[in-house]
Amino acid sequence: MLPKRKTDFSHVPEEKRLKKDIVDLLASGTIPAERATGLFNNAQASGARGCEEYANLHPAEHNKFDRSNHVKRNVLRKALEGNHWPKVYMFEAPIHIPSAGLESTGKIPVLLPHELLDALYQHNPLESGLFDHSLLDPTPFNHLKKACAQLSADMSKVIGCSIWADGVPYNSDRSKSFEVISLQILSVASSSMRFPVAVVPKHWMQKQETWDSLWGILKWSLQAAASGLWPANRHDGTAFAALENHRKKKAGKPLVRALLCQVKGDWSFYKNVLYLPGWNESGSCCWKCNMVPGNLKEVGTSASWRMLANRKNHWQSLQQLKSVSPSFGAPFFHIDLITLDWLHIADLGISLDFLGSFFKYLIDQKLTGTVAEKYQHFCTRMQLFYQGHDIQSRLDQFKPSVLLSTSDGSKVKFPKLRAKAGESRALIPFAVLVGRDLLDQNNVLEKQLFESAVALDKCYQQLSMDNFNAAELQKQSTRFALFYVSLNEHFDKLGQRYFKVKPKLHMFLEMCLTANTAPSSTWTYRDESWGGEVSSMAANKAGKSNPHALGMPFFNRFFIKYSLPIL
């Protein structure tokens, strides 16, 4: 995700706008190369200016040999002329062939972090802000400072970067997805920028084997970036191939230095790729403490997992992992650099569970009329709240199916709000307002319900950089968790299922306990948005769907659509 361009191309000289527009359609995958040259050909015939160089690539009707692949190759070469992006790196990795159900090896293209960072460094002046460490959050800043001291490196000339990875669906029924890895430069003025590293169709991956190969490549690239020298060989120690003379010429020469200071993703990524404990582990389900699934209701300030003796340091965490990801071989990489993400833990986690139970109680117990009338009344209240507070992320309708029930293995199910992350976040203050209107403050249970909403809302207020107070976030998150567990136990005694206690409640407490800056500074909203853009650019409407056949067109489209930025 680079700075957004004007879609009307008003910033481009008039005689070049049509060419830019058609090239943009080509880069986005909207039209194939032969169709693009046909448009250029027709544009030139109708007197349009600036289309000659592409129109000449359109094959003549009699020349069947010059069609399809040759046209595509020629158009891509022309569109990629003059770009300053580094060439992608090709390597063999274990893959799964879905049509045959076989395990094999195949080529995967990646954009190497050390090559990307050096290209940005060469393309930007030293004072551009590429090394602006004042923008770093405390954890990556302290890590970078400590690592630079051990390297005897000048911190003012070392880049701090972050890696995000997640799956993004790319077909209409969301049955297929890409695994996307992207790079963010933390020490740069534009924190919204994301750069692609790898895009791999998930159904072609051999799960751990393919991921380990990808992280092995990243580890090798990050080692080069930390050393400040261009690598002398390929990642596996072999000599650079004939088509890699540009790499061979740079071997051993100075390279801009950079260090990995942050890794972001969801719990599924951490478990399946980094091999951290999952929520369903029989032993410890947390890599920060000794928490086990059976003790999830321990949420108070005196909970045993909060004691220093039960906290895990880097090496204790690694010793308890069933496997160790190659990512931990990246220079100076530390388990504390793995970020707990507010979007997945709160907005798509505990908040949906809380709002589902909270709203269901209000509708069932505090409103009158038929079921349809109750939900309509509640929906009206919600829409008035949206209008009064200028909320953009909205639930357009509210009916029983919105309070999706989740099974815990019994016939009775727990409510859970069906909403997107932004919709969930917007409804937290609404819960406080509607609770104040409908709940009886003289009733012990309903006062607890209301105070739980207030506590969660105060946690959300800490997302603001201006309001952030670490002690307040710890206090309010603990209050919320105590109310939540108490409500769960109260309804459980009545044989009713409300406020299901899940492992994400513990992760929420861990996130709030260890936060030293507003969680919004590290949440993955921008990364998720970037993942959606990658998905639309990488999807192939026809042809092969293996990692190479999807990866290379994606990088070509990205390089055509975006110029290497001036920071």
Instruction: Check if the beta carbon of residue 39 is closer than 8 Å to that of residue 22.
Output: yes
Q: At what angle do helices 444-461 and 351-366 cross, to 10 degrees?
A: 150
What are the residues whose beta carbons fall under 8 Å from the beta carbon of 91, sequence distance 6 or more?
107, 108, 110, 213, 217, 234, 235, 236
State the number of CA atoms in the 13 A half-sphere of 343 facing the CB: 17
Q: pLDDT tens digits, the chain, 567 residues: what are they?
A: 555 544 566 677 777 788 888 877 877 667 777 788 788 888 888 877 777 777 777 665 544 445 555 777 777 788 888 889 999 999 999 999 998 889 999 999 999 999 999 999 998 876 667 888 887 899 999 999 999 999 999 999 999 999 999 988 887 777 788 899 999 999 776 677 899 999 999 999 998 999 999 999 999 999 999 999 999 999 999 999 999 999 999 999 999 999 999 999 998 899 999 999 988 777 889 999 999 999 999 999 999 999 999 999 999 999 989 899 999 999 999 999 999 999 999 999 999 999 999 999 999 999 999 999 999 999 999 999 999 999 999 998 898 988 876 555 555 589 999 999 999 999 999 999 999 999 999 999 999 999 999 999 999 999 999 999 999 999 999 999 999 999 999 999 999 999 999 999 999 999 999 999 999 999 999 898 888 888 878 776 666 788 998 899 889 889 988 889 887
pTM: 0.90
Element (H, E) at 315: helix 314-319
Q: Whose structure tokens read 């400590």?
A: 146
Element (H, E) at 23: helix 14-27
Nearest to 395 by CA among 435, 431, 439, 437: 431
Nearest to 285 by CA among 320, 260, 251, 253: 320
Looking at the DSSP bridge assignments, the partners of residue 262 are 162
Helix and strand numbers (H, E) in the chain are 20, 8
> How do beta strands 158-169 and 257-264 pair?
parallel
Count of CB atoms situated within 10 Å of the CB of 112? 25
